[in-house]
Amino acid sequence: MKNSENNSLSGGMKVWFIGAGPGDPDLITVKGRDLIARADAILYTGSLVSETVMRWSKADCEIADSKGMTLEQINHWLIERARNKSVVIRLQTGDPGLYGVLVEIIQALDNEGIESELVPGVSSALAAAAAAKETLTLPEVTQTVIFTRVEGRTPMPEGESLEELARHKTTLCLFLSITLLHKIEDSLLKAGWSEDAQVLVVQKASWPGEEKIIRGTIKTIRAKCKAEGITSQAMIIISPTLGARYFKDIKKSRLYAEEFNHKFRIKNNRKKTTD
């Protein structure tokens, strides 16, 4: 770890928010792993983060699971440890900035004069695409990815219903929505998608020995997931790029085309002509 990072670990009250990644402990960042190895206290989301991520922690590190805690209890735990320990970590699934309780905790820390710093993590959306060997973007098919969820107990902001977002016909990555497949089907069809459009569901993407990949269409995916008993921890991807490896004709990226010049390729070409 760099000197500047060493200095930040040694002085003042601070809480590190670390993205644990999608499940495979090897997919945590090197920075996140190194911080865990230095940690004096770790609060992790046990319902979502594999305990194997803690294999790098010190023997005397205080480790607690927050799955049974309220927000107030989480805040209190972190504040008390930050006051008494050098390296305190809040370990969250995926990336801390996506669908996690982040701002609410940081506000509580700010009120107590406690610093915070974030270490990003690999999202389950990216891990799911990787597991299925899929791309989320493809030239002249879609260049846009929407991360969203279906409205459940938490309402969606105005203009962000799935039907409205789906009208763009871009890649949709749906978090926290596997129990709402009936709503997803209805919204996509109303937005103009074909009932034969491809849908990918990956449960526990990257979790060793637990990952499940389900492929279907808007019309069939609900029955397939029901048959597999998938009711939690699943990423849903709907995209015109699904199955692109089997497309007969694809528009290839111009970035690597022979006639597409840029400063690096021009430099290399000049070097060749002068050799």
- Blockwise average pLDDT, block size 10, the chain, 275 residues: 43 88 93 96 83 86 94 97 95 93 96 97 97 96 96 89 97 96 97 97 94 98 97 96 91 69 60 50
pLDDT for 188: 98
Answer positive or negative: Cα dihedral of 121, 126, 132, 133: negative
Question: Model's pTM, two decimal places?
Answer: 0.86
Strand partners, 19: 92
pLDDT for 6: 43
59: helix, strand or coil: coil
CA distance 164 to 161: 5
pLDDT for 249: 84
Dig out the tokens for 90 from the structure.
Answer: 């809040």
Strand partners, 236: 174, 201
**Phi, psi angle pair for 54, to nearest 5°:** -80, 5
Intervals of CATH 3.40.1010.10 along the chain: 3-122
CA distance 46 to 67: 6
| Range 3-122 classified under CATH 3.40.1010.10 | yes
Give residues with Cβ within 8 angstroms of 101, minimum separation 6.
71, 74
Dig out the tokens for 205 from the structure.
Answer: 């993407």
- In the CATH hierarchy, which fold is given to the domain comprising 125-246? 3.30.950
pLDDT for 149: 95
Intervals of CATH 3.30.950.10 along the chain: 125-246
pLDDT for 269: 52
Q: Which runs of consecutive H residues, i.e. helices, occur in 99-249? A: 103-111, 124-131, 162-166, 181-190, 221-228
pLDDT for 260: 66
pLDDT for 48: 72
* Residue of 37, 95, 49 whose CA lies nearest to 207: 49
pLDDT for 53: 79
